[in-house]
Amino acid sequence: MTITETPKGSITVVALNGTLDASTAPELQKSPAITNASQTVVIDLEHVNFLDSSGLGALIGTLRKKRDMSAETLLSCMNDRIGQVFEITNAYRLFHIFDDTSAAVDYATQLIARR
């Protein structure tokens, strides 16, 4: 899996490409924008072709860690296959999910400004 971090003002867009599963979830957890608990991130899932329970656990772990530090984790561009995992597990209730990354960045910027 390749992870690309792109700063957009005070937000970092973390674009994932490949499979997010037990073997690649630790890579995500070690990426700088994710380890920095106070950094609000938008995780772009457009090119994630597979997500298993470990990958989902990594995303939820990130969300919990960041919320503890009053930061946010937003998700964008989820394809149908990944969306189905969020649907059956009810994990969609935890995240703000956008169909466009720039909209997610704008929303996150507003969230930070409101705090």
Partner 1 sequence: MKTLLAIREREYEWARQAFPSIHPLLLPLCNKPFTEFLIDFAILAGSSEIRLLSDGPLGEVKEYCETGNRWGVQLSYASMHAEDSFQDLIEKNRKFCGDDRIMIISGFSFISYDKQQGYAGSISLMPAGTCVSCPGGSISLTGDPETPSHHLPELQLKLQPLESVGSYYRISADTLENGAARYVLPGYGNEPGCAIGRNVVISKTAEIRTPVSIGNNVQILSGAVIGPGAIVGSNVIIDKESSIKNAVVLDNTYIGEHLEVNGRIASGNMLIDPRSGASIAMEDPHLLAGIRASGKPGKVARNAVHAVAAAILISLQLIPFLLLFPLLKLQGRWRSGTKTCLADIAGNSITLPTAEITGTGLAASLAAAISLDRLPLLTRVMTGQLAIIGSAPIIASGQTTGIPAGNPGYRPAVFGYAEAEEWPVNGSDAAIVERFYTVHSTPVKDIGMTIKALLNKLYEKNAA
Q: Which residues bind partner 1 (CB under 8 A)?
A: 53-54, 56-57, 60-61, 64, 83, 85-93, 96-100, 102-103, 106-107
* Under 8 Å between Cβ of 22 and 54: yes
Which residue lies nearer to partner 1 by CB, 28 or 107? 107
- Minimum CB separation of residue 30 from partner 1 in Å reads 16
Which residue lies nearer to partner 1 by CB, 14 or 51? 51
- Minimum CB separation of residue 54 from partner 1 in Å reads 7
DSSP 64-107: HHHHHTT--EEEE---HHHHHHHHHHTGGGTSEEESSHHHHHHH
